[in-house]
């Protein structure tokens, strides 16, 4: 795989996330193995589509690495049921292409605003299905080398995976099931109907994981939290498990709102989002994909 070289630049991460919250960091775009190897030679975070992510107002000290266009291989999807795709492939487009090809297995991911690599990392999904339902194998950059692991080595469970520390997914192999475009489209209608109550404004997706046997959204609604607001961060009126940015929300606003919700709900709620960096006035803290450079233990 070949592509553009590393292009480090200073950016405001809020502009690259779906919640539109977060301070600055040094962004590195990797378009091939050599540039990805260079980008990951120092502590880093990996940025995909920017959903399910809350970035500190102070930004992060680590590099932020994203995969460039050569890793977005949606156009290479030719309708094969067993296919390798780049980790930067947009999931919404992939779901639609699979439907048109009459391939089943991804319809439960309709509307999930992620890239394929992030979907694997979070084991993204809805109550209709998860990415792990079709995942067979992954390729990743680890300590400067490309390695492959089977899906059953990733510890995949509800909104969770156990990738090796410092790994960057580069490709994923999916195995879909032959069906018809009409049957897959019919299944997608049920998924789409279930999403109609979700807000269509700035959000990072569902904030909390569903507790066992219950719905976080239902619990938050029952606690009277819909419409609860801190600064420009608000619990959506449409769905209790969505925090929306009314325009100028800060990370501190969001953190305070999440804490207010937890205090009102009787069941412990686990955050589904990833966090990057510390709270305002605190030094940034390493996050889920930060790694220690080789040779620094």
- DSSP characters for the chain? ---PPP--EEEEGGGGSSS----EEEEEEE-SHHHHHHHTTSSEEE-SS--SEEE-TT--SSEEEEE-GGG--GGG--S-SEEEEETT-BHHHHHHHHHHTTEES-GGGTT---BHHHHHHHT-EETTEEGGGTEEEEEEEETTEEEEEEGGGS--BTTB--PPTT-EEEEEEEE-EE--HHHHHHHHHHHHHHHTTS--SSEEEESBPPPTTS-HHHHHHHTT-TT-EETTEEE-SS-TTEEEE-SS--HHHHHHHHHHHHHH-SS---B-SEEES-STTS-----TT--PPTT--
Residues β-bridged to residue 149: 138
How far, in Å, CA of 251 to CA of 20, rounded? 10
How far, in Å, CA of 158 to CA of 248, rounded? 32
Q: What is the pLDDT of residue 198?
A: 78
How far, in Å, CA of 188 to CA of 129, rounded? 11
User: φ and ψ at 28, to 5 degrees?
Assistant: -115, 125
CB 121 within 8 A of CB 163: yes
Provide the greatest CA pair distance for the chain. Answer: 55
CB 171 within 8 A of CB 139: yes
- State how beta strands 203-206 and 242-245 pair: antiparallel
- Show Cβ contacts of residue 223 under 8 Å, excluding neighbours closer than 6 positions: 261, 264, 265, 266
Domains of the chain in start order, with CATH, are 72-183 (3.30.465.10), 208-271 (3.90.78.10)
How far, in Å, CA of 191 to CA of 51, rounded? 19
Across the 297 residues of the chain, what is the mean pLDDT of every consecutive 10-residue run? 68 96 96 95 95 95 96 93 98 96 96 94 93 98 96 95 95 98 96 80 89 94 97 96 96 97 95 82 37 31
Sheet with strand 168-175: strands edge to edge: 82-86, 168-175, 135-142, 145-150
Q: Which residues are catalytic?
A: 159, 206
Q: What is the pLDDT of residue 297?
A: 27
């Amino acid at each position: 795989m070949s592509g553009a070289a590393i292009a480090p630049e200073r950016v405001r991460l809020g502009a690259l996330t779906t919640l539109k919250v977060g301070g600055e960091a040094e962004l590195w775009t990797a378009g091939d193995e050599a540039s990805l190897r260079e980008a990951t030679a120092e502590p880093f975070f990996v940025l995909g589509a920017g959903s399910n992510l809350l970035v500190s107002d102070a930004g992060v000290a680590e590099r932020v690495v994203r995969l460039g266009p050569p890793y977005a291989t949606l156009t290479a999807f030719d309708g094969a049921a067993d296919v390798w795709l780049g980790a930067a492939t947009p999931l919404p487009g992939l779901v639609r292409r699979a439907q048109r090809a009459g391939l089943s297995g991804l319809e439960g991911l309709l509307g999930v605003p992620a890239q394929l690599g992030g979907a694997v990392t979070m084991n993204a999904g809805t109550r209709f299905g998860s990415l792990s339902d079709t995942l067979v194998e992954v390729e990743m950059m680890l300590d400067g080398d490309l390695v492959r692991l089977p899906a059953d080595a990733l510890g995949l469970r509800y909104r969770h995976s156990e990738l090796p520390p410092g790994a960057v997914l580069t490709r994923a192999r999916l195995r879909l099931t032959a069906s018809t475009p009409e049957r897959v489209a019919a299944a997608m209608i049920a998924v789409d109907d279930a999403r109609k109550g979700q807000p269509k404004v700035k959000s990072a997706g569902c904030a909390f994981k569903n507790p066992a046997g219950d719905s976080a959204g239902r619990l938050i609604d029952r606690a009277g939290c819909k419409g609860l607001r801190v600064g420009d961060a608000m619990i959506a009126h449409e769905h209790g498990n969505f925090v929306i940015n009314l325009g100028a929300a800060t990370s501190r606003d969001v953190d305070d709102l999440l804490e207010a919700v937890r205090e009102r709900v009787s069941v412990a709620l686990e955050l589904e989002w990833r966090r990057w960096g510390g709270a305002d006035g605190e030094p940034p803290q390493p996050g889920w994909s930060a790694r220690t450079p080789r040779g620094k233990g």
